[in-house]
């Protein structure tokens, strides 16, 4: 595909205290900011330190990349029984990692990991769970209800029930399959501020999926919002070509992209409708977009189509990742954030 326009800047979003930047190294943009979270993508991303998070995912359109969430203020780092915690005034990131093999009871693995996660959350001052990212290998391996994603959903649902999380308060979620070692990496963003879940009218809520998708429905919301003072953070769950509860255009990445973009527009309309400040949220404002592609060779046509359907230069801002989706017939998924700072939308470049 053609080289991106030279006037397209590197991806950057900001709140007065929070900025999200995808870059090659975790180098603070200013002396007065610290790393709240750094999602590491790529084998060459071998840096270690406070706030850095292993994902097991490989970039397609870039070399090793770190998605840095910089915070202007004090950050505290600690480890509580295997859960890494980075916390500031408004937010906390909690990360837990567990290895397994093909004989592992994966429902038990996910149950134990989520119990440890909630135990750590209870000991913080940030009890509102906004989003959870789940990355693990072999996500669609196994037949029928023994599929790894279905087993993961069983363990997660059991813990959510133990914690009395009802469906209307479920956090946003992303579950993606990696191509690396068999490890479950779970990352939670929590806050002192309440989280308001948002659903997409085009899609059946995941927690209402029929039995054909497993003994327990996936427990997550399609997205949701945190309002911290005058600042608003909209979190987008992993979004794919599902209308109602059915996959559209199995194994056709271009047609799936079209449906996914329509779903994102519907979700953004839900954000706008739920905004107390009458803030309009549009798909063009999505920042730090992560594009998950099952087939790396689909990159060029997907990037071209994203620019055509969303905005010129959108693909340059996006991080494309080689990944498996939670249904074997899905080829494409996207998540990201939209941030409003006061009455002004955060810039997209």
Average of per-residue pLDDT values in the chain:
90
Cβ neighbours for 3, distance < 8 A, ≥ 6 positions apart: none
Q: Name the nearest CA neighbour of 276 among 343, 199, 345, 217.
A: 343
| Residue pLDDT, tens place only, 271-282 | 988 766 667 899
* CA 158 distance to own-chain centroid: 21
Q: Name the nearest CA neighbour of 42 among 22, 16, 60.
A: 60
Residue 265 has a pLDDT of 96
Residue 16 has a pLDDT of 57
Give the dihedral of Cα atoms 184, 213, 222, 194; nearest 10 deg.
-70
For the chain, which domains are there?
12-342 (3.30.1330.40)
User: Is the confidence at residue 264, as pLDDT, over 50?
Assistant: yes
Mean pLDDT value of segment 276-291: 86
User: Is the confidence at residue 300, as pLDDT, over 90?
Assistant: yes
What is the C-alpha separation between 40 and 147, in angstroms, rounded?
27
pLDDT tier at 27 (50, 70, 90 boundaries)? confident
Total-model pTM: 0.92
| Residue pLDDT, tens place only, 67-108 | 999 998 999 999 999 999 999 999 999 999 999 988 899 999
| Residue pLDDT, tens place only, 127-138 | 999 999 999 999
Mean pLDDT value of segment 107-130: 97
User: Is the confidence at residue 329, as pLDDT, over 70?
Assistant: yes
Per-position DSSP letters for 173-228, written without gaps between them: EEEEEESSSSEEEEEEEEESS-EEEE--TTB--GGG--GGG-SS----BSEEEEEE
Residue 140 has a pLDDT of 96
Distance linking the first and last C-alpha atoms of the chain: 20
Q: How would you class 79 by CB atoms within 10 Å of its CB: exposed for 0-12, middle for 13-18, buried for 19 or more?
A: exposed
pLDDT tier at 2 (50, 70, 90 boundaries)? very low
Percent of the chain with pLDDT over 90: 76
Buried-state track 85-95, b at ≥16 Cβ within 10 A, e below 16: bbbbebbbbbb
Mean pLDDT value of segment 108-135: 97
User: Is the confidence at residue 9, as pLDDT, over 90?
Assistant: no
Residue 278 has a pLDDT of 65
Residue 47 has a pLDDT of 64
Percent of the chain with pLDDT over 70: 91
Q: What is the DSSP letter of 324?
A: B
């Amino acid at each position: 595909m053609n080289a991106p326009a030279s006037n397209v800047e590197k991806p950057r979003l900001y709140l007065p205290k929070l900025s999200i930047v995808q870059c090659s190294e975790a180098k603070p943009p200013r002396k007065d900011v610290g790393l709240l979270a750094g999602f590491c993508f790529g084998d060459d991303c071998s840096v270690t330190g406070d706030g850095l998070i292993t994902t097991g995912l490989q970039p397609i359109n870039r070399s090793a990349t770190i998605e840095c969430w910089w915070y202007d203020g004090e950050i505290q780092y600690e480890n509580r029984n295997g859960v890494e915690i980075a916390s500031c005034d408004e937010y906390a990131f909690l990360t837990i990692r567990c290895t397994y093999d093909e004989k592992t009871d994966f429902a038990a693995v996910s149950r134990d990991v989520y119990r440890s996660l909630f135990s750590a959350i209870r000991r913080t001052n940030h009890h509102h769970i906004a989003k959870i990212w789940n990355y693990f290998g072999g996500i669609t391996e196994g037949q029928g209800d023994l599929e790894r994603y279905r087993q993961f959903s069983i363990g997660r649902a059991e813990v959510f029930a133990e914690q009395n999380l009802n469906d209307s308060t479920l956090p946003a979620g992303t579950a993606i399959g990696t191509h690396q070692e068999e490890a479950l990496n779970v990352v939670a963003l929590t806050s002192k501020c309440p989280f308001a879940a948002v659903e997409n009218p085009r899609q059946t809520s995941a927690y209402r999926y029929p039995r054909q998708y497993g003994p327990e429905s996936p427990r997550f919301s399609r997205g949701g919002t945190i309002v911290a003072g005058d600042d608003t953070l909209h979190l987008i769950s992993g979004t794919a070509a599902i209308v109602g509860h059915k996959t559209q255009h199995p194994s056709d990445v271009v047609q799936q992209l079209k449906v996914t973009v329509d779903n994102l527009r519907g979700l953004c309309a839900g954000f706008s409708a739920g905004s107390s400040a009458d803030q309009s949220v549009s798909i063009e404002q999505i920042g730090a977009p992560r594009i998950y592609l099952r087939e790396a060779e689909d990159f060029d046509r997907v990037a071209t189509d994203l620019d055509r359907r969303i905005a010129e230069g959108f693909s340059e801002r996006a991080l494309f990742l080689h990944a498996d989706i939670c249904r074997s017939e899905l080829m494409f998924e996207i998540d990201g954030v939209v941030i409003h700072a006061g009455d002004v939308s955060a810039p997209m470049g």
